[in-house]
Homo-oligomer: A and B are copies of this chain.
Amino acid sequence: MIFKLALFNANDCIKIMLKKRITIKDLARELGYAPSTISRALNNHPGISKKTKEEVQKAVKKLGYTQNSIASNFRKNTMLSIGIIVPRIGIHFHSLVISGIEEMAYMRKYNVTIFQSQDSLDREKEIAKILQTKMVDGIIVCLALETNNYDHFNQLKDNKVPVVFYDRVPENYEASKIVINDYQSAYKATEHLISSGCKRIAHISGNPEVSIYKERLKGYKAALVKHNIPLDEKLIEYTKDLNYDEGVYSAKKFLNLEHKPDGIFCANDYTAVSTIQVFKKANYSIPGDISVVGFSNYPISRIIEPTLTTINDRAFEMGQAAANLLIRQIEEKSEIISSETVVLETELIIRDSSKSFNSHK
């Protein structure tokens, strides 16, 4: 042991004892090269002799050097780092999106720093400011519920930091966006109910001030109009949050209607699940007496009985697409950052809560 230590010079010894980080300078001193040579050897530059590179690698092992990528990236003025702002990580949809982002980012050597806005506009602004100072190369954001103004992203844009929004995206604001076609998806879901024989189709809507729920509502209405089914405002329930309890409340209102619906399209799976449970409890058969279609393809949709017909909202793919687009924009480094909108195709997953007709149009 003593003998081994004797192979180190005094300075290195001290560093090792104090667990100070070994730097390029230490390698340089150890081998008698200039730090610039070490740097080039480490980065496998062409104009460095093979012999030198090998020597350097040996010294790396001996002294236990690990690169300081912060210093390196700082010098190169790129952090290979992307920031994410989501409302809440614990919401399953967002956790899948994040998962998709991380996966894509990891492949491309970027790392992902995550912030929760908690659906608060103030906090979202605060985070945007923090991100400003962090040298992130780009950011991905799903807007807070409260957010109705997007000025806090202007400075990022001015600084040429690309921003990609997903799911809850700004309206009338020039930016890149990843969305699904909510209108088309709702249309498809409603039409499925129609073609499976439903005549009176109700809708449980989210807050119609939020664009995605507005679009779903529109798609529902359009499908009815298209198939000459009269709209009936009594068949539309508006919720604040689309949570389970609001679903129960809405379903009960439908249940108490004189002229009850025979199909219900719900703007998410939670309200669809509570609708199923409310009608089952009231001894309705599903899909015999009433069909139910949800939206999102949450895990519970495969477990509830009957299993739930729903729209696959492609959360994971949305994350991948967001990261992909963002990284492309980062690496283009063009003077003008283009604003692109990617619309992901959704998919109607037909399960047991709706009748399936082969004569499906």
Which A residues fall within an 8 A CB radius of B? 19, 21, 64, 66-71, 74, 79, 81, 88-92, 94-96, 98-99, 102-103, 106, 111-116, 129-130, 132-135, 155, 158-160, 244, 273-274, 277, 299-300, 302-305, 316
Contact = CB atoms under 8 A, between A and B. Distances in A.
A99 B103 contact: no
Contacts of A115: 102, 106, 111-112
Nearest to A130: B111
Contacts of A95: 89-92, 94-95, 98
B74 A70 contact: yes
A116 B111 contact: no
Nearest to A90: B99
13 contacts: A64-B158, A70-B133, A70-B134, A71-B74, A81-B113, A89-B98, A90-B99, A91-B95, A98-B114, A112-B113, A112-B115, A113-B113, A300-B303
Given A74-B70, A134-B69, A160-B19, A244 B303 contact: yes
Contact of A116 (B90, B94, B106): B106
Contacts of A106: 115-116
Given A70-B70, A74-B71, A95-B89, A116 B103 contact: yes
For A19, A96, A99, the residue with the greatest tally of chain B CB atoms inside 10 Å of its CB is: A99
A89 B84 CA distance: 14
Nearest to A129: B66
Given A21-B159, A74-B70, A303-B300, A316 B90 contact: yes
A103 to B, nearest CB: 7
Contacts of A305: 277
A114 B116 CA distance: 13
Given A89-B98, A89-B102, A113-B113, 20 more contacts: A19-B158, A64-B158, A66-B129, A66-B133, A67-B133, A69-B133, A69-B134, A71-B74, A81-B113, A89-B99, A90-B96, A90-B99, A95-B98, A102-B116, A111-B134, A112-B114, A113-B114, A244-B302, A244-B303, A300-B300
A176 to B, nearest CB: 18
A229 B57 CA distance: 63
Contacts of A300: 299-300, 303
A304 B19 CA distance: 54
Contacts of A81: 113
Contacts of A96: 89-90
A68 B130 CA distance: 10
Contact of A70 (B64, B92, B129, B135): B135
